[in-house]
Structure 1
């Protein structure tokens, strides 16, 4: 009986629901911060340095973008169908469990995963555009900057929707009593 009381106390102190858990919001912030900083696997400060300094910094940027773009497109070309099916299954399962059956963890995973899928599709588009002729100079910088801005917009909308849904869930649990 003492073990049950201890577990009950722990679960009362540490709220195990997703949207009222501080760790979920930390993960959300770190996810979008990292996603908007690393554009196609390249830190965005490297883009700014290449544009400002030119020379070796510009060559390093172009090389890193070429390597990451080729690697990313190789994975997409070889495993894209399987990854699409797996992602669709995961998102469908999370959406059904979360929004039909009310499993808060599944809602949280969907609200993290769906926007990242949009960023993944944007990355495929950007990588294909880079490979098609935007691999150097001003055209590359513009593509990476556009990719970052669109990623930040997706992140902004995602954080806003997640915050609204999280507040709704927390208020519903508080008002309805669980």
Structure 2
């Protein structure tokens, strides 16, 4: 029983006071805004700046990732449409109704990412005919707009998570 207690002390189930949670939150949103539909954003910038082969590479990678995302949606869309809301509802109820701080932290991380996932599917569906044509400038423009949307969702999510985390830490420090 001592080992279990030591492990729990090491993990620190109070997520909002744990530095690792905030590092994971920052890395998650940084990665989400850098990898736009699976295409690294520096590749988008390089294609815009250099042109030629870089634009062809951008269209090719975008075509592959659009096909991959849409294939996943077509093959496993129904299962995902059932499992994701179930998991989010479980985290929501467990975290905010029963007071599990770990469930609150995971919900505040995953819920906005599910919105980014839906936005990515919509953007992939919009890009499907465009990447088939090979119009690099339009692909560049759509991926850039998608990145701005992801960054906006990330800013709102980080702000809400920070406010909720500060509230939880203040509540815990006052109530002990």
Q: What is the TM-score with the length of structure 1 in the denominator?
A: 0.92
Q: 2:58 maps to which residue?
A: 61
Give the alignment partner of residue 26 of structure 2, picking from 18, 26, 29: 29
Please state whether the residue corresponding to 1:102 is helix, strand or coil: coil
CA RMSD of aligned residues (A): 1.9
| Deviation for aligned residue 1:133 | 2.8
Q: 2:141 maps to which residue?
A: 142
Please state whether the residue corresponding to 1:133 is helix, strand or coil: helix
Contiguous gaps of at least 5 residues in structure 2: none
Contiguous gaps of at least 5 residues in structure 1: none
For 1:151 and 1:78, locate their aligned partners in 2 and report how far apart those are by CA, in whole Å. Answer: 25
Q: Deviations along 1:10-63, whole A, 9 cap, x unmatched?
A: 82x764310000110010000000000000001000000001111111100100
Q: What is the TM-score with the length of structure 2 in the denominator?
A: 0.93
Counterpart check, 1:104 vs 2:97: no
For 1:147 and 1:161, locate their aligned partners in 2 and report how far apart those are by CA, in whole Å. Answer: 21
Query: What does 1:64-79 correspond to in 2, within 5 Å?
Result: 64-79=61-76
Query: Residues 5 and 87 (structure 1 numbering): CA distance in 2 closer, same or farther, change over 3 Å?
Result: closer
Query: What does 1:1-178 correspond to in 2, within 5 Å?
Result: 4=2, 7=5, 11=9, 15-133=12-130, 136-177=135-176
